[in-house]
Amino acid sequence: MKKKWKWLLGLCFMLTACSGKSLALPEVLGGKRETVTFSDSLYRPDQEFEKISCDVREGCYAVDSEMEAGLLIGNLVRSGQREAAIVADEDLDLDKIFIYALALSPSTFEAQYTQRRMMNGTRRTIFTVTMEDEQQLQRNRVQARRIVEENVSAEMDQTETIRVLHDWLVLHTQYDEEAVALNEEERRQSLAFRASGVFERGKATCSGYMEAMDLLLEAAGIGSIRVFSNTMDHAWNLVSLDGEMRYLDATFDDPVPDQPGRVMYDFFLIEPDTLKQRGKYEFDPATPTTISQTEYEAFFNYCLR
């Protein structure tokens, strides 16, 4: 997997962020205020967001932290919205917001943003987020729902459900060793780095396994967040098992070279302390542009507990 995961081309998701300690929301935005929730979401469905009427068609949302902004954007993306704005009284780390939002997104996206200093000293930031083709994403979701319907029964508990989906993914996918050698431009065109590699070709890299696992869990009504490590060039899932935090890495549970019919469970629903003890995983440090293991787990607790 490449060190930057912001690849895919498609439709634009515009998001405007205004930050600065002197920002006065009523003076800048004015207008009607209302409370919005994402009651159908797997991610903090009771969270109330303050929505304020503004010059952005879909409205502006007031947020207080990077995690709240990431949760908001993740829920907006999963629900299909492609334009919104966020405002904050405090300076927020835009790179952190991006990574948190990416952890909840149903598909990898590419983000660019520009900043402009305003007369009152605040900064106006415009995000341009490019999602995977909407039709392709919907095809993947249809595939995920079909797989869940065919393999999961109402009698299964969450552990059994996750195991069935994990096994389906490993048994129907080969790790694409050739794709790892592609250059950056070739990777942009390759399905191996997306869930489509699993659902359409049966071959993928770790990011494809991770995205497909996320969509399968979503279809089964189980929350998870996507974990990235630039240090490892790797991606995997952090899953909610009856509200408890467990790591799942279907890539490492799939033998290479491929062994048809064989599924491993070395990295299936691992507790955080066990993951640390094994020493195989190396998370990024906590910096303005990367998320550490502690931060990922704090975000999990924020969104899924």
Which pLDDT belongs to residue 111? 64
- Regarding whether 285 and 138 lie in a shared domain, the answer is yes
Question: Does 305 have pLDDT greater than 70?
Answer: yes
In total, how many domains does the chain have? 2
pLDDT in the model for residue 167:
99
- Give the pLDDT score at 119: 53
Task: Flag whether 16 is in a domain.
Answer: yes
Least confident of 30-39, 211-220, 253-262, 269-278: 30-39
Residue 178 has pLDDT above 70, yes or no: yes
In a domain, 218, yes or no: yes
What is the pLDDT confidence band of residue 17, given thresholds at 50, 70 and 90? Answer: very low
pLDDT band at 236 (very low <50, low <70, confident <90, very high): very high
Average pLDDT over residues 40-59: 83
The tokens for 129 are: 């987020």
Q: Does residue 278 sit in the same domain as residue 151?
A: yes
pLDDT of residue 195: 95
- Which pLDDT score is estimated for 21? 32
List pLDDT tens digits, range 95-131. 898 899 999 988 877 666 655 554 554 445 555 556 6
Q: Is the pLDDT of residue 85 over 70?
A: yes
Residue scoring higher pLDDT (5 or 52): 52
Judged against a pLDDT cut of 80, whether residue 24 lies above it is answered with: no
User: Across residues 65-69, what is the average pLDDT?
Assistant: 92
Q: Examine residue 7 and state whether it is found in any structural domain, yes or no.
A: no
**61/169 same-domain check:** no
Which structural domain range is residue 101 located in? 12-130
142: left (phi over 0), alpha (psi -120 to 50) or beta: alpha
Same domain, yes or no, for 108 and 157? no
Higher pLDDT, 2 or 149: 149
Question: Stretch 6-34: mean pLDDT, rounded?
Answer: 41
State whether residue 198 is helix, strand or coil.
helix
Q: Tell me the average pLDDT of the chain.
A: 83
pLDDT of residue 33: 82
Domain boundary at 97, 130, 163, which?
A: 130
| pLDDT greater at residue 293 or residue 180 | 293
Report the C-alpha gap between 70 and 296 in whole angstroms: 12
Task: Provide DSSP, 6-42.
Answer: ----S-EEEEEEEE-TT--HHHHT-S-EEEE--TT-S
For residue 132, is pLDDT > 80?
Answer: no
Given 130, 158, 188, which residue is the final one in a domain?
A: 130
pTM, rounded to two decimals: 0.86
Give the Cβ contact number of residue 221 at 10 Å: 11
Of 43-47, 91-95, 130-134, highest mean pLDDT? 43-47
Spatial separation of the C-alpha atoms in residues 225 and 191, rounded to whole Å: 21
Residue 218: pLDDT over 80: yes
For residue 22, the model assigns a pLDDT of 32
- 271, 179: one domain: yes
Spatial separation of the C-alpha atoms in residues 140 and 135, rounded to whole Å: 9
Residues 109 and 35 in one domain: yes
Q: Does the pLDDT at position 133 exceed 80? A: no
Minimum mean pLDDT among 5-19, 238-252, 277-291: which range? 5-19
Q: Which of 130, 151, 182 is the last residue of a domain?
A: 130
